[in-house]
């Protein structure tokens, strides 16, 4: 995978295989716990624990091993600071599609371009897999919403009160797509 290059001292973006994902469950869980604790609406509620985070990531390993999912991480100084999962559609009529999920950056590493590099790497990985249509959803008005818009993603719908934020308040969700040029 040709990941976007990181500047001096910036986190490097790379793909983790299933064995390394299994070995890094604690680090992956820490990123997810941090996201939930900071209010990210990423399927979990306040009080989400490291054990629950490890269980979530452990459940992703089979999909990574089968090639259905690609896990990309941002790493700095031996520590993971961000994640994104690319899930390839498995339906015969969807072999051109993939979904972006668990696009997470540690609070301490935000506003440094990490999310932008992870997203670009996920797009490059999708192209390499022959995918030309990407989909994702995010909380309306969130940092992710602003990032996707600035990276050329197109909102195609919004659902009011779609999901609870970790603190229990309902929030709208925006749905996005991006059409990629095929890999040459």
Domains of the chain: 12-131 (3.40.630.30)
Order across the sheet with 154-164: list the strands: 12-16, 69-76, 79-88, 97-105, 133-139, 170-179, 154-164
- Helix ranges, 24-170 (H): 25-37, 50-66, 114-128, 143-150
CB of 21 within 8 A of CB of 28?
yes
Strand, helix or coil for residue 82: strand
- The residues, any chain, with a CB within 8 Å of residue 111's CB and separated by 6 or more, are none
Q: How far apart are CA 134 and CA 116, in angstroms?
A: 15
pLDDT at site 160: 98
Cα–Cα distance for residue pair 118/92, rounded to 1 Å = 27
Query: Would you say residue 1 has pLDDT above 80?
Result: no
Q: What pLDDT does 183 receive?
A: 72
pTM (two decimals):
0.92
Span 114-120, mean pLDDT? 97
């Amino acid at each position: 995978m040709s990941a976007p290059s990181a500047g001096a001292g910036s986190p490097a973006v790379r793909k983790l295989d299933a064995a390394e994902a299994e070995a890094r469950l604690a680090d992956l869980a820490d990123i997810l716990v941090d996201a939930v604790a900071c209010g990210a609406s990423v399927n979990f509620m306040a009080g989400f624990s490291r054990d629950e985070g490890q269980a979530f990531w452990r459940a992703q390993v089979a999909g990574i091993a089968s090639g259905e999912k690609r896990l990309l991480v941002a790493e700095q100084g031996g520590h993971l600071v961000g994640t994104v999962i690319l899930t390839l559609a498995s339906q015969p009529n969807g072999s051109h599609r993939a979904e972006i999920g668990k696009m997470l950056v540690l609070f301490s590493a935000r506003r440094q371009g990490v999310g932008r590099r992870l997203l670009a790497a996920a797009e490059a990985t999708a192209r390499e897999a022959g995918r030309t249509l990407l989909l994702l959803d995010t909380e309306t008005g969130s940092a992710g919403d602003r990032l996707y818009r600035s990276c050329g993603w197109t909102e195609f719908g919004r659902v009011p009160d779609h999901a609870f934020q970790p603190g229990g308040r309902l929030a709208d969700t925006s749905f996005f797509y991006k059409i990629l040029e095929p890999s040459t």
